[in-house]
Amino acid sequence: MIRPDAPVLLEIRDLTARVEDQPILKGVSLTIRAGEIHAVMGRNGSGKSTLSKVLAGHPAYTVTGGSVRYMGDDLLTLEPELRARAGLFLGFQYPVEIPGVSNLEFLRVATNARRAGKGEEELDTFAFEDLVRERLQVVQMDPAFLERSVNEGFSGGEKKRNEILQMALLEPLVAVLDETDSGLDIDALRIVAGGVNHLAGPDNATLLITHYQRLLDVITPDYVHVMAAGRILRTGGKELALELEERGYDWVDAELAALERTPAEVG
């Protein structure tokens, strides 16, 4: 839902970042307002996950320039856990397994950390059990997953559902979902997409990273961005995704080549 007067939640300007000595993000700009759903598409290796991890504060990536303001504050000086408590959420492309840490305990600690960030009181184990059981419905997940270690031995699709369960519990203001649709069967895709739609509202925003139109058939984006070689090369409405589906990414090369030739003119 586009409302030009809605408050800006996330404002990324000319963001550049490297991993070790290799520049990956080469000037990303993106403004996200409350109520909006953005989709980021682009070839493998174009920097989509890097963007998401830089936003979440992954220590492997060094920001070399530009700025990110979140709710008006400088996001980049915050520790990752403070970003999360302030309502930024990253659904990982590859959620890691954490053997020995109970999923239920993890979800409870995470939920309470976020609640503290909102100035809400901590939930005790009983109150949390009630909440988690309710939120499990959103992703139609079996409560048995709560008893296991975080993501340990989960199938690819189960890991993704666990990500959306976390999102449902943490109630983020800005959710960045990195290929949450990959590896899902058709039913699971519908469930996950249903979950995302259910959680999307006028006060929050979603940034979907995806390769597939089939996700955008169920979650209608307000904006579609195409990333290439660490930049956002083009931005359009939902029809841009359909165009990509038809034409592929060949045109990207031509535009990139043009950019390389005349860097000064495009800034």
Partner 1 sequence: MASSATVGDLVSQPYKYGFVTDIETEKIAKGLSEDVVRLISAKKQEPAFLLDFRLRSYRQWLQMEEPDWASLGHPPIDYQEIIYYAAPKQQEKKASLDEVDPKLLETFEKLGIPLSEQKRLSNVAVDAVFDSVSIATTYREKLAEHGVIFCSISEAVKDHADLIEKYLGTVVPGNDNYFAALNSAVFSDGSFVFIPKGVECPMELSTYFRINSGDTGQFERTLIVAEEGASVSYLEGCTAPMFDTNQLHAAVVELVALDDASIKYSTVQNWYAGDENGKGGIYNFVTKRGQCRGDRSHISWTQVETGSAITWKYPSCVLQGADSVGEFYSVALTNNRQQADTGTKMIHVGPRTRSTIVSKGISAGHSSNSYRGLVQLGPKAVGARNYSQCDSMLIGDQAAANTYPYIRSQQPEARIEHEASTCRISADQLFYLQSRGIAFEEAVSMMVSGFCRDVFNQLPMEFAAEADKLLALKLEGSVG
Question: Of 70, 92, 145, 223, which one interacts with partner 1 (CB under 8 A)?
Answer: 92
What number of other Cβ atoms are within 10 A of residue 41's Cβ? Answer: 25
Nearer to ligand ATP by C-beta: 13 or 43? 43
CA 55 to centroid of chain Cα atoms: 9
Question: Of 16, 49, 103, 111, which one interacts with Mg ion (CB under 5 A)?
Answer: 49
38 binds, among Mg ion, ligand ATP, partner 1, none (CB under 5 to 8 A by kind): none
DSSP β-ladder status, 149-150 and 98-102: antiparallel
Interaction between residue 62 and partner 1 (CB under 8 A): yes
Phi, psi of 209 (to 5 degrees): -100, 125
Closest-CA residue to 206 (of 198, 93, 144, 214): 198
Q: Report the nearest approach of ligand ATP to the CB of residue 44 (Å).
A: 3
Site residues for ligand ATP, window 40-79 (CB under 6 A)?
42, 44-50, 60
Q: Report the nearest approach of partner 1 to the CB of residue 109 (Å).
A: 6
Nearer to partner 1 by C-beta: 49 or 221? 49
Task: Tell me the two tokens of residue 214.
Answer: 């089939």
For helices 156-170 and 103-117, the axis angle rounded to 10 degrees is 30
Closest-CA residue to 61 (of 106, 17, 10): 17
Total residues at the site for ligand ATP (CB under 6 A)? 12
Residue for token pair 């997940």 = 141
Q: Report the nearest approach of ligand ATP to the CB of residue 19 (Å).
A: 4
CA 14 to centroid of chain Cα atoms: 19
Amino acid sitting at position 265: E
237 binds, among partner 1, Mg ion, ligand ATP, none (CB under 5 to 8 A by kind): none
Chain residues in the site for ligand ATP (CB under 6 A): 19, 24, 42, 44-50, 60, 93
Chain residues in the site for partner 1 (CB under 8 A): 56-60, 62-63, 76-81, 83-85, 90, 92, 95-96, 98-102, 105-106, 109-110, 113-114, 117, 149-150, 166, 170
